[in-house]
Amino acid sequence: MSLSMFCKSIEVSLRTGPDIGDITPALKALIRESGIESGQLSAAMVGSTGSLTTIEYEPGVVDDLKRAINSLAPPGIDYAHEQAWHDGNGHSHVQAALLGPAIVLPIRNGSLKTGTWQQVVAINHDNRPRKRSIEVTITGTRS
Amino acid sequence: MSLSMFCKSIEVSLRTGPDIGDITPALKALIRESGIESGQLSAAMVGSTGSLTTIEYEPGVVDDLKRAINSLAPPGIDYAHEQAWHDGNGHSHVQAALLGPAIVLPIRNGSLKTGTWQQVVAINHDNRPRKRSIEVTITGTRS
Amino acid sequence: MSLSMFCKSIEVSLRTGPDIGDITPALKALIRESGIESGQLSAAMVGSTGSLTTIEYEPGVVDDLKRAINSLAPPGIDYAHEQAWHDGNGHSHVQAALLGPAIVLPIRNGSLKTGTWQQVVAINHDNRPRKRSIEVTITGTRS
């Protein structure tokens, strides 16, 4: 069985950061479209004020994660970034760099292999709503 | 030389979180089994209260990392997650989301190419012992 | 179109940590050398006191990120790692484990597909200058 690769981007509209959106359904749709049964999916946020991770997409713990993100790099303190740009999003850049822009996840039996309560989320850290673009690369074997 | 892919899961039993286990020997065994000489290995924790990273697997610094993880999202404070679930593991979900569930590492000359003092570790953040499953995907060329 | 893979390492000299260097030009040169038009690049720091992420490579926000990294695991506090090794870099190991050693990014139209203000950076967390080695694995299709 030779390997195949499938590349496509998805877009997600997010509110002022930290805002967290569930992209699992969009990723699962791309896996179906790719026809790949076994392999891996990598996804990467395009832009320096966004990140990707997994969490149980439940309103309480999503709020808990937002609070933890804002304590890693609080919006209200001074950032050297502001001296050059004055755009008020120094914390957004630092938060996104700490969480990281990309993720790689397994595909088994034609679907994303994650835990039952484990969703893939895109995070907008910017200080304004953003439509974020995520590049998805699926590699593996077809049946 | 055409590319090959090899997919398999490993399991690791971990104590109440944060507990940190060395999975390097298990990953190296899978690489040997795969016969892949050059390429990459991706690994992902199945479940939303676990994570993967690398560290020198030495008892002192492993304890230091546990302390740092618990200061990112302390077990003893209030989490909105508890209002829905009352299972006491709000901090576990937040810690795991901040560290991230997955890792990608190089394979060179038929082995994992990491530093001498750099081991791959699985972390259980949950508030009870867990047998954790990790999906491993190895991609590359055979000799 | 069958898939190809290209593996090579790059080296970057960094000052006492946290020091942050832009490796985007080196990665783009490797993509050109690989001839791969569409796919992904994975990169991993060899060694347990370094990490990789993306950020806008602008002096102000790079300083902001250094400060945030040092607040995750401050250099001046006690680490159990020191009881075994006395090399003064307990914080370096913890910082690197929290940020993570590796990254995976998309290749589209023969180039790295990141945001305009999003650079790939290597971070040395060690308490002395280090020449760091990064293993790069590029997978995808040629045109």
Residue A27 CB burial class (10 angstroms; 0-12, 13-18, ≥19): buried
**Which residue, among A2, A24, A61, A98, would best test binding to B if mutated, counting the most B CBs under 10 Å from its CB?**
A61
Which residues, 6 or more positions from A25, have their beta carbon under 8 angstroms from its beta carbon? none
Closest chain A residue to the Cα of B140, Cα to Cα: A3
Q: Determine, for residues C56 and A48 on separate chains, whether the beta-carbon distance falls below 8 Å.
A: yes
Please report, for chain B, how many H helices and E strands are present, in that order: 4, 8
In this prediction the pTM is 0.98
Residues of C in contact with B38 (CB under 8 A): 5, 7
Residues 26-45 of C with CB under 8 A from B: 42, 44
ipTM > 0.95?
yes
In this predicted model, what pLDDT tens digit does every residue of B55-108 receive, in sequence order?
999 999 999 999 999 999 999 899 998 887 788 999 999 999 999 999 999 999
Q: Determine, for residues A137 and C40 on separate chains, whether the beta-carbon distance falls below 8 Å.
A: yes
| CA-closest candidate to residue A110, choices A42, A44, A29 | A29
* A98 contact C CB<8A: yes
* B54 contact A CB<8A: no
Closest chain B residue to the Cα of A141, Cα to Cα: B5
| CA-closest candidate to residue B64, choices A72, C86, C51, C92 | C92
| CA-closest candidate to residue C17, choices C76, C91, C79, C81 | C91
The owner of tokens 């195949």 is: A4
Question: How far does the CA of residue B70 sit from the closest CA of chain C (Å)?
Answer: 11
Residue A56 pLDDT grade (very low, low, confident, very high; cuts 50, 70, 90): very high
* A106 contact B CB<8A: yes
**8 A C-beta contact, residue A48 and residue A93:** yes
Mean pLDDT of A86-105: 96
Closest chain B residue to the Cα of C135, Cα to Cα: B106
pLDDT score for A82: 86
Residues of A in contact with B105 (CB under 8 A): none
Per-residue pLDDT of chain C (143 residues; tens, 9 = 90+): 699 999 999 999 999 999 999 999 999 999 999 999 999 999 999 999 999 999 999 999 999 999 999 999 999 899 998 887 788 999 999 999 999 999 999 999 999 999 999 999 999 999 999 999 999 999 999 97
* B73 contact A CB<8A: yes
How far apart are alpha carbons A35 and B138 in whole angstroms? Answer: 19
Give the tokens for residue C65: 């990120």
Residue A76 pLDDT grade (very low, low, confident, very high; cuts 50, 70, 90): confident
In this predicted model, what pLDDT tens digit does every residue of B114-127 receive, in sequence order?
999 999 999 999 99
